[in-house]
């Protein structure tokens, strides 16, 4: 059983457990923490790595609650660190001393009373909340105790001279409230500290400095300012972050048709896509992925930010052209005719446009069971010339029209359009015996009394001429029209043209 140390020195919950061990060792042995830990039967390396059983043994020796000491312990694993159950990268959080506030140390008293604060362990937090000044940086590797860090900085007085007064920022206040275990509701509480800080920093860097920014080119204060920019947005939740991503996208300089998400979102996308494999980025990944899918055309089965796209949301001119097996420029012209692409848009302009699937899904559905022009006469029961006439007049609109006047190659029709025509024919009344003697087929009426197939069919469909059906099956060649109706229609049409 480990004997309890006396006199008892209470643990300061704002400091690291290594800092506490150093203070106790300086008091009882006059030496750094290693001596006291050895006296307690502990290996300094295991204690520094934050092994739970070693912390518990130390707590019993010094008369402290092991839970309190574990709350101030950074557990070092092979690839990352763990603090209060949350995973951290080694750059994001480390128990070694990498920065400190000389003003706080002055208030602590003599060097043996100096405390290494938990708030100084976070690499992206470079401001002291209490004194509103910058923390003095030593080295990325850090030192084992605060005294060595101060010596490396040239002494506390010199370090104090290098500290600069700054605005604290909401992100610093939030971090210290979280470290103090303040109860708070909101979506930030469901994310780890590193997730919030990383997301805020990368969001802010792109907002403040653009898509091409390289983090290594920024100073500590510039990165801190970017972190504050991003945090003020990020703390507001999903909608605010989504709006910020829209702002980032609008400011993107990339204009090429093939410009991908990296060109649009810069290093924010790069970080989430490639540089956050060890520590999950958190909610920002979900929001960015949704934003990309809402603005770029991804097909089902493609991978985006580590997940398979389960359904297509958008089509581009290019993706529609590939789906419908049509030349992209021809597809662009078709979309212009449909009013989905501005008239006269260049290839580059149309190539950047996207269309909700629901707005073009009918086009895709029509294509999947389309009927080519050569097979339409058989389908509707008309001649090739009649079909061409109906197509030319727009009575039978094509899914993909001809790419040149008179051209028919590649012209296809939606089955539903042809079925609609046949349904209208099916709605015509059957001809009786008396009417049969007084009526003609469409072809006969045109030959004997003039006019064209498309004019006569249009008149029948619009009700200007009474149409009859010669047999039960609805076919174009089953349509009959009364001679008197045709003559009256032709006379009226001729009179209208001749009138001044």
The whole-number pLDDT of residue 188 equals 92
Half-sphere exposure of 77 (CA within 13 A, CB side): 11
Q: In what order do the strands lie in the sheet with 467-469?
A: 439-441, 479-482, 467-469
Query: What is the band of 495 on the pLDDT scale with cuts at 50, 70, 90?
Result: low
pLDDT in tens, 454-486: 999 999 999 899 999 999 999 999 999 999 988
Examine the pLDDT at 254 and tell me if it is beyond 70.
no
Query: What is the band of 205 on the pLDDT scale with cuts at 50, 70, 90?
Result: very high
The whole-number pLDDT of residue 308 equals 95
The whole-number pLDDT of residue 499 equals 43
The whole-number pLDDT of residue 472 equals 92
Mean pLDDT check: name the lowest of 106-120, 150-164, 246-260, 410-424.
246-260
pLDDT in tens, 227-244: 999 999 999 999 999 999
Percent of the chain past pLDDT 70, that is, above it, reads 94
pTM score of the predicted model: 0.77
* Integer Cα distance of 337 and 317 in angstroms: 13
pLDDT in tens, 18-40: 999 999 999 999 999 999 999 99
pLDDT in tens, 391-450: 989 899 888 766 545 445 678 899 999 999 999 999 999 999 888 888 999 888 888 888
pLDDT in tens, 115-146: 999 999 999 999 999 999 999 999 878 899 99
User: Across the strands, what pairs with 371?
Assistant: 413
pLDDT in tens, 73-129: 999 999 999 999 999 999 999 999 999 999 999 999 999 999 999 999 999 999 999
* Integer Cα distance of 113 and 22 in angstroms: 9
* Integer Cα distance of 319 and 361 in angstroms: 12
Tell me, letter by letter, the H, E, C secondary structure of the chain: CCCCCCCCCCCCCCECHHHHHHHHHHHHCCCCHHHHHHHCCCCHHHHHCCCHHHHHHHHHHHCCCHHHHHCCCEEECCCCEEECCEEECCCCECCCECEECHHHHHHHCCHHHCCCEHHHHECCCCEECCCCEECEECCCCCECCHHHHHHHCCCHHHHHHHCCECCCCHHHHHHHHHHCCCCCCCHHHHCCHHHHHHHHHHHHHHHHHCCCCCHHHCCHHHHHHHHHHHHHHHCCCHHHHHHHHHHHHHHCCCCCCCCCHHHHHCHHHHHHHHCCCCCCCCHHHHHHHHHHHHHCCCCCCCEECCEECCCCCEEEHHHHHHHHCCCHHHHHHHHHHCCCCCCCCCHHHHHCCEEEHHHHHHHHHHHHCCEEHHHHHHHHCCCHHHHHHHHHHCCCCCCECCCCCCCCCCCEECHHHHHHHHHHHHCCCECCHHHHHCEEEHHHHHHHHCCCHHHHHHHHHHCCCCEEECCCCCCHHHEEEEHHHHHHHHHHHHHHHHCC
Under the phi-then-psi rule, with left for phi > 0, alpha for psi from -120 to 50, and beta for the rest, what region is 406?
Answer: left
Q: How many residues does the chain have?
A: 500
The whole-number pLDDT of residue 334 equals 74
The whole-number pLDDT of residue 341 equals 79
């Amino acid at each position: 059983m480990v004997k309890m140390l006396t006199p008892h020195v209470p643990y300061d919950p704002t400091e690291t457990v290594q800092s506490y061990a150093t203070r106790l060792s300086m008091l009882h042995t006059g030496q750094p923490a290693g001596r006291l830990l050895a006296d307690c039967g502990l290996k300094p390396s295991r204690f520094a790595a934050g092994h739970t059983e070693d912390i518990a043994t130390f707590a019993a020796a010094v008369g402290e609650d092991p839970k309190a000491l574990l709350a101030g312990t950074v557990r070092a694993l092979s690839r990352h660190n763990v603090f209060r159950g949350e995973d951290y990268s080694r750059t994001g959080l480390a128990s070694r001393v990498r920065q400190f506030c000389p003003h706080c140390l002055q208030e602590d008293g003599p060097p043996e009373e100096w405390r290494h604060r938990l708030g100084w362990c976070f690499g992206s937090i470079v401001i002291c909340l209490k004194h509103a000044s910058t923390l003095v940086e030593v080295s990325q590797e850090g030192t084992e105790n605060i005294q060595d860090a101060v010596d490396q900085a040239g002494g506390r007085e010199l370090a104090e001279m290098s500290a600069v007064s700054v605005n604290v920022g909401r992100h610093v206040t939030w971090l210290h409230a979280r470290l103090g275990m303040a109860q708070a509701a909101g979506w930030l509480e469901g994310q780890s500290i590193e997730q919030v800080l990383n997301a805020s920093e990368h969001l802010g860097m792109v907002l403040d400095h653009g898509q091409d920014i390289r983090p290594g080119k920024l100073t500590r204060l510039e990165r801190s300012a970017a972190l504050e920019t991003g945090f003020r947005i990020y703390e507001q939740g999903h909608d605010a972050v989504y709006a910020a991503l829209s702002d980032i996208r609008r400011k993107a300089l990339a204009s090429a048709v093939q410009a991908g998400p990296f060109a649009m979102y810069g290093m924010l996308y790069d970080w989430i896509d490639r540089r956050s494999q060890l520590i999950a980025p958190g909610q920002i990944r979900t929001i960015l992925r949704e934003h990309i899918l809402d603005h770029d055309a991804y097909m089902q089965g493609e991978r985006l930010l580590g997940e398979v796209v389960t359904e297509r949301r958008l089509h581009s001119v290019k993706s529609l052209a590939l789906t419908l097996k049509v030349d992209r420029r021809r597809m662009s012209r078709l979309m212009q005719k449909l009013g989905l692409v501005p008239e006269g848009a260049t290839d580059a302009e149309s190539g950047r446009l996207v269309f909700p699937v629901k707005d073009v899904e009918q086009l895709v559905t029509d294509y999947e069971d389309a009927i080519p022009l050569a097979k339409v006469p058989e389908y509707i029961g008309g001649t090739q010339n009649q079909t061409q006439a109906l197509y030319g007049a727009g009575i039978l609109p094509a899914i993909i029209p001809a790419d040149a006047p008179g051209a028919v190659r590649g012209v296809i029709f939606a089955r539903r359009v042809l079925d609609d025509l046949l349904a209208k024919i099916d709605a015509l009344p059957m001809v009786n015996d008396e009417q049969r003697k007084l009526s003609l087929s469409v072809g006969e009426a045109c030959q004997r009394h003039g006019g064209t197939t498309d004019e006569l069919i249009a008149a029948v469909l619009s009700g200007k001429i009474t149409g009859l059906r010669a047999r039960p099956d609805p076919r174009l060649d089953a349509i009959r029209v009364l001679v008197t109706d045709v003559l009256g229609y032709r006379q009226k049409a001729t009179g209208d043209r001749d009138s001044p």
